[in-house]
Structure 1
Amino acid sequence: MVAKRQAEPDVWVIEETGADELLSLGTEAVAWLLTLQRATTVDERLGVLTDWLAAQAGVSALRFIDQAGQVRADAGPEMAACSWWRIAGAEAAGVFQIGDDGAVDVNKLSLVLGAVAPLLRGALAYECAVRRARRDPLTGLQNRTAMAEALAAEMDLVVRHEAPLTLLVIDVDHFKTINDCFGHRAGDAVLRQIGERLKAHSRTGDLLFRYAGDEFVVALRQTDEAGAEQAARRLRHLIERAVIQHEDHIIRVSVSVGAACAAAGDTAEALFERADQAMYRDKADATRIRLAAGPARAAEPPSYGIHGQ
């Protein structure tokens, strides 16, 4: 057996299974391991594992919870009784909750989990690296790379299903002055606070990005022109209400907001450009939030149909 109990009741620590140990389960186990290796994502590998454990080790229910506390697999009926299995190592990849109705072959289960442990750890590490590559480390929002990918997918939905989509571009006014007067750490504090406010007050389906420097982008799904104006006003108000303390200084900021609604014939780049230009017009006149119209027809200037007070 390649697992041992911890001090806590019903917790097993999974050690990695050697090739000879896995061969003791027969050629079917080797074939299963090859299938598992061909799977690349965490979810694919957990699916293969769940199917094999049900067939070969008598496991009727399985749940896997990753290191972030997210349930990544949940198969089988409710567990009246269960045991917990943790992959060995300082950086735990997560824990398995295994339904235990008395029919589980603990030796087989231990060997199989030991075989999947390094593969699952590798897939989780890759997934984490990809997430980090798409996150802005200062604010925790998605970055410019993630934005390009996400907007391409959203524009596909606009084209295929005519799903309403609005883009807000938010820019901090006089950000260079904040850095010059209070220092770059104060500027960082301002950006973090804006990121926190956007996360706290956006809808579940909204997509949030730090585009560059002091510029943020919010993609509002299922949002038309009326909803765009309301969202732009609300987010500007929430950001400008923030009282940001840095060392002995109290900093308050204002922001400029531009908005554009996706229309037929749009691309993600064109939609962003219109929202960005609307933001610059708003920066010139901070009493108004302007909504850019759809792409202008040939020889026809664009119009801006929503004006604030």
Structure 2
Amino acid sequence: MKDSKNDITLFHLEEKYLARAKELLEKRDQEEIDWRQSFEEMTGQYAKLLNHTHKLIKISDHAQKSLQKANSKIQIMADTDELTGLPNRRGSEKLLDSIIRKSRAFDVPIALFLLDVDHFKKINDSWGHSAGDKVLKELSELMKVNLRNRDILGRWGGEEFLMVLSETDLVGARILSEKIRDLIEKKPVEWEGEEIRVTMSMGGVMYDGKNSPDRNLDHADQALYRSKNTGRNRISFYEA
């Protein structure tokens, strides 16, 4: 009888321990499930965050590129004459500085010219400012297509232009500048069924590296002044 009671007690203990073991196993399994769910949730959130970050980076890159393009356009606009599409004075000065550095680096000659449309005020007074604008645009195009890619043509201000002939000696400068002057004289500008005859005075100087750019421009201006005072529609070169 005593053994029977012991067996019953042992059986209950085994049941108790088995139940406890089952409870612990179930708890462990649930904790593992909860952990996995938490991990999956965290992984999902991280993936979403990573995806969002990538999108932000793309947006940031796009915004930066757009800003760079906008800044580039603003820079071009700031350096370009709206009427003629040529570099304005600011843009011309930048290009002149670049070509001077190249000239010094490779020891090549450059010829610098200031050009002025003869009697431009009379054109505006006689034909109107719209006609004057057309004259400036057509002259700009005519000169541009007859210069080389390495040369510079810019609107210096009003009816005045800057022309820089790169890698050009005095003989070449005389030939090319005379070609430009002759083309302008022979090609009138059409305006409302009539022709506006246009000529150009020029002053040139062979760039002297011993002097500053401003000094060389002053010499070209002196030569231009001489062209105007000796009949216009001609080219004068500065002589020291």
**What range is the shorter-chain TM-score in?**
0.7 to 0.9
Of all paired residues, the percent bearing the same amino acid is 33
Gaps of at least 5 residues in structure 2 are 1-46
Partner of 2:123: 178
User: How far is the alpha carbon of 1:211 from its aligned partner?
Assistant: 0.3
Partner of 1:24: 51
Distance of 1:128 and 1:206 partners within structure 2: 23
TM-score, structure 2 as length reference: 0.73
Out of 136, 160, 163, the residue aligned to residue 215 of structure 1 is: 160
Partner of 1:123: 68
User: How far is the alpha carbon of 1:272 from its aligned partner?
Assistant: 1.1
Give the greater-gyration-radius structure (CA).
2
Provide closer, same or farther for how the CA distance between residues 183 and 22 of structure 1 changes in structure 2, counting only shifts above 3 A: farther
Partner of 1:192: 137
Partner of 2:238: 292
Partner of 1:275: 220
User: How far is the alpha carbon of 1:169 from its aligned partner?
Assistant: 1.3
Provide closer, same or farther for how the CA distance between residues 240 and 118 of structure 1 changes in structure 2, counting only shifts above 3 A: same
Cα contact 1:245–1:251 (8 A) shared by 2: yes
Distance of 1:23 and 1:242 partners within structure 2: 66
Provide closer, same or farther for how the CA distance between residues 22 and 128 of structure 1 changes in structure 2, counting only shifts above 3 A: farther
Distance of 1:133 and 1:214 partners within structure 2: 19
Provide closer, same or farther for how the CA distance between residues 140 and 21 of structure 1 changes in structure 2, counting only shifts above 3 A: farther
Provide closer, same or farther for how the CA distance between residues 227 and 21 of structure 1 changes in structure 2, counting only shifts above 3 A: farther
TM-score, structure 1 as length reference: 0.58
Partner of 1:164: 109
Cα contact 2:200–2:234 (8 A) shared by 1: no
Provide closer, same or farther for how the CA distance between residues 21 and 166 of structure 1 changes in structure 2, counting only shifts above 3 A: farther
Q: Does 1:257 align with 2:227?
A: no
Distance of 2:126 and 2:233 partners within structure 1: 25
1:90-109 matches, cutoff 5 A: none
Amino acid at match of 1:183: G
Partner of 2:12: none
Distance of 2:114 and 2:142 partners within structure 1: 15
Cα RMSD (Å): 2.3
Amino acid at match of 1:141: L
Q: 1:175-225: per-residue Cα shift (whole Å, max 9, x none)? A: 111111111111111001111112211101111100011001111110110
Cα contact 2:181–2:233 (8 A) shared by 1: no
Q: 1:130-159: per-residue Cα shift (whole Å, max 9, x none)? A: 001100000000000112222223223333
Q: Which has the higher helix share?
A: 2
Partner of 2:35: none
The structure with higher relative contact order (CA 8 Å, sep 6+) is 2
Deviates more, 1:169-178 or 1:115-124: 115-124
Cα contact 2:181–2:234 (8 A) shared by 1: no
Q: Which has the higher strand share?
A: 1
Amino acid at match of 2:129: H
Q: 1:41-88: per-residue Cα shift (whole Å, max 9, x none)? A: xxxxxxxxxxxxxxxxxxxxxxxxxxxxxxxxxxxxxxxxxxxxxxxx
Partner of 1:82: none
